[in-house]
Amino acid sequence: MPAGALYRADPRFAALGPEFADPVTPAAFPEQTLCFRNDRAAASVGLDGLTDLEWLDAFARFKPLPRNQPQPLAMRYHGHQFRTYNPDLGDGRGFLYAQLREAGTDRLLDLGAKGSGKTPWSRTADGRLTLKGGVREVLAAEMLEALGVPTSRAFSLIETGESLTRGDEPSPTRSAVLTRLSHSHIRFGTFQRLAYIERPDLLEILIGHALEAYHPDRQGAAGLLAAAVDRTAALTARWMAAGFVHGVLNTDNMNITGESFDYGPWRFLPRSDPAFTAAYFDHSGLYAFGRQPDAAFWNLRQLAASLTPVAGQDELIEILNGFETAYVRELVAAMLRRLGVKPQGAEADATLVSAAFKALAAGGEGLGWEPFFFDWFCGPASVGRAALSPRAAIYAGEEGRAFSDLILAREPERPERLADSYFGRAGPETMLIDEVEAIWAPIAANDDWSAFNAKVLAVRGAGRAWNLDV
């Protein structure tokens, strides 16, 4: 299979040996219909030059990429699911397909499958993914990337011609296989498993691998935890600034590079609501929007506990105690980034961010989460836009005035971004659940992908306008 000049295979995880993953054979799908290929992501790893037939060979049949893994690997891990420990986890409907270097950054990246068939960890499940689930994951990843949130990227979505029965959507339903490009699939639960089976020798091997591959500036188990604390604090803060609710923050759904992935019952906030939940089965609101920082910290504590066989407990506790400070710092930075204004100092910045959250809450149902940031982007440079906004009357309220007084005293960050035609619209690009259902409906009824394709393009246009990662 041909690959471009930027393609650099580097299959590091496979070298750890059979204690960490199981070789598996991909499912033989009766059909392979290409629904989505992310050429932007593919260009970053030298695979954008593949023809559609070569693409299907790689991401529907999973033929080995050049000089990469000879066979997919179902990774072994455990995890807490809604805070109940489950030792029967592992890649049950996916696998690590390949590892390669990202052009420009030299980061080690994974190509991982979802819906690729049964593995030793499937238990009674069929190892498949619904097409609707694949569509939802593409849309979530695209929106998060546009909003500057560290996220896996949906790389490929292929319909596979099987009919699936699912209890949470009309059945039978169509099937698909998704491939994601991620910084790492090593989860908190990967370490938990080794502590559970009492293999400190393997724990040391995994820690060494993770440090070399992802955190070469850190040392030992304490260094790995410190990196995870910093990255998780930044990730959680950006979720909160984006108004994103992951829905299932189990320890097997959090990785050591601080990048979110595996989007199931996700939601974006329609408006400010700390109690908003994404998963219909989250009856207690454990993973509600406002509880995500607590969930992230709880998960970090479980990671730290799994490292105690090879590290000093007091040192790990001290590192954990830094999470709150790191999270607050990252939340302020994320909110300033979303508002498009320059920092003024820790106290003043915290005051502005607090005022923003109060204004969002006071706006109630009339003030959407995303429209608020759209109206006030770059602060004083958008005062005219905010005054002409359909939401202008809301900003005239007490909390709205308190916020506007503060942000109008700020210096805009790169106000030239407002010249993009995106900011001439009446409102922003959003990804609310009703929109997602409206995108899916014509696919389900008529195999009409026009709304899906248009939405991907529109979200990418919004991302270019925001330009939040510079």
252 is catalytic: yes
Q: Does 172 sit behind a cis peptide bond, omega within 30 degrees of 0 on the bond before it?
A: yes
DSSP per-residue string spanning 396-454:
TSHHHHHHHHHHTTSPBSSGGGGGSGGGGSSS-----HHHHHHHHHHHHHH---HHHHH
Whether 6 contacts 46, CB under 8 Å: yes
Among 440, 439, 449, CA closest to 169: 440
Q: Is 280 exposed, middle or buried (0-12, 13-18, 19+ CB in 10 A)?
A: exposed
Please give the helix or strand (H or E) that residue 363 lies within, else none: none
The CB-side HSE value for 142 (13 A sphere, CA atoms) comes to: 28
Question: What is the helix, strand, coil percentage profile of the chain, to 5?
Answer: 45, 15, 40
Q: What gap in Å lies between CA 46 and CA 67, rounded to an integer?
A: 14
Catalytic residue among 91, 110, 230, 252: 252
In the chain the first and final C-alpha atoms are separated, in Å, by 35
Q: Which residues are catalytic?
A: 252
